[in-house]
């Protein structure tokens, strides 16, 4: 039987960085994470206070220094993240002003230049991931079609097909670069992205010719808020799940609002993210299914709770993930009652002799 084991606990550092302008270093962040009991860190690549993506893509010596800092603290790097840059690879002009904050000043206000910058960032992330000897990378797909996700006004014929064809053309060179680097590109399926559920991932996969590096960062919180069966999702797509965010959520619809949320702030929405154990996600079943299918990547805490303090969420996340890790069985539970293969005996039992 399978012997793989999910690794963890790990933590995504993005939500725990101090505000811009305050001092912070990768060393201080990994020492903080290790002090809480985390064994791995997922590193955002857009904050040069802790990680220089351009340098990491070109300098193995710099990457060796990064690995040395993490090793000294007793943590591994699980993945690099380009969520913010990935969002800008494909971005509808309706969101231009809101998304400009994710880009450097030099490319803001120019959608073409900004998209090219974002694609270049992903190419650098492939090289950096290879230099750090990582197996997977976390990102967003961006969105050309999100403003049409509800089919009213009626979509023109072939609009969706054209949208995914264009999305694929933007991502194919990036996927090829990750293939050359030997790294899986894992899209977090997320509302606001063209890749936000199983059907949209399948459309994209078809558009990129089933590219072997087009994979999934599994985050059940986004599926619960869409009312998608997040357990059956694992049954269907487990071969493409190469990264895992452990994030909880709850959905409590009312007579006033449901999935769409009525423009309410997070704390008042029917669907909202919660700290681990405070929501409705069945993590026992998730860890069991991922173990059943041999997932041996990292269980990475992502904290986005609108109620609980982030430091408390980080502290509690260690014990929560540790409590859900499963060492896969090496043999069947009833092996003791079995016997060596004996074809003659089998034929007798089948009534053939």
Tell me the C-alpha distance between 128 and 4, whole Å.
Answer: 26
Q: Is 332 a member of any domain?
A: yes
Q: What is the pTM of this model?
A: 0.95
- Rounded to the nearest 5 percent, the helix, strand and coil shares of the chain are 50, 15, 35
Q: Is 289 a member of any domain?
A: yes
Q: Is 111 a member of any domain?
A: yes
Residue 187 sits in which domain range?
A: 7-349
Q: Which residues of the chain have pLDDT under 50?
A: 1
Q: Is 287 a member of any domain?
A: yes
Q: Is 2 a member of any domain?
A: no
- Paired tokens of 282: 């069945």
CATH number where 181 lies: 3.20.20.150
Q: Is 273 a member of any domain?
A: yes
Four-point Cα dihedral 53, 57, 60, 61, nearest 10: -40
Number of structural domains in the chain: 1
Tell me the C-alpha distance between 165 and 192, whole Å.
Answer: 18
DSSP 339: -
Q: Is 246 a member of any domain?
A: yes
Model pLDDT, residue 1? 45
Q: Is 222 a member of any domain?
A: yes
């Amino acid at each position: 039987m399978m012997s793989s084991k999910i690794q963890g606990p790990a933590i995504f550092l993005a939500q725990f960085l101090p505000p811009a302008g305050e001092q912070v270093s990768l060393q201080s962040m990994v020492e903080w994470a290790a002090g809480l009991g985390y064994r791995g860190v997922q590193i955002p690549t857009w904050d040069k206070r802790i990680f220089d993506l351009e340098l990491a893509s070109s300098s193995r010596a710099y990457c060796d220094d990064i690995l040395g800092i993490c090793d000294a603290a007793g943590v591994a790097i699980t993945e690099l993240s380009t969520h913010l840059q990935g969002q800008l690879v494909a971005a509808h002009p309706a969101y231009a002003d809101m998304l400009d904050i994710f880009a450097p000043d030099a490319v803001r206000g120019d959608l073409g230049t900004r998209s090219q910058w974002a694609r270049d960032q992903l190419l650098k992330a492939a090289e950096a991931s290879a230099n750090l000897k990582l197996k997977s990378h976390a990102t967003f797909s961006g969105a050309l079609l999100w403003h049409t996700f509800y089919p009213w006004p009626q979509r023109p014929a072939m609009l969706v097909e054209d949208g995914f064809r264009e999305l694929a053309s933007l991502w194919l060179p990036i996927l090829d670069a990750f293939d050359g680097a030997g790294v899986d590109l894992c899209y977090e399926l997320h509302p606001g992205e063209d890749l936000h559920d199983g059907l949209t991932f399948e459309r994209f996969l078809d558009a990129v010719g089933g590219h072997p590096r087009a994979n999934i960062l599994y985050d059940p919180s986004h599926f619960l808020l869409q009312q998608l069966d997040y357990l059956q999702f694992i049954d269907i797509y487990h071969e493409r799940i190469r990264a895992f965010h452990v994030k909880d959520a709850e959905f409590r619809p009312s007579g006033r609002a449901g999935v769409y949320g009525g423009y309410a702030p997070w704390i008042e929405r029917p669907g909202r993210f919660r700290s681990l154990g405070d929501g409705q996600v069945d993590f026992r079943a998730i860890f069991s299914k991922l173990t059943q299918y041999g997932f041996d990547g990292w269980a990475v805490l992502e904290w986005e709770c609108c109620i609980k303090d982030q430091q408390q969420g980080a502290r509690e996340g260690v014990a929560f993930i540790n409590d859900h890790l499963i060492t896969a069985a090496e043999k069947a539970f009833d092996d003791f009652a079995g016997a060596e293969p004996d074809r003659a005996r089998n034929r007798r039992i089948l009534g053939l002799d």
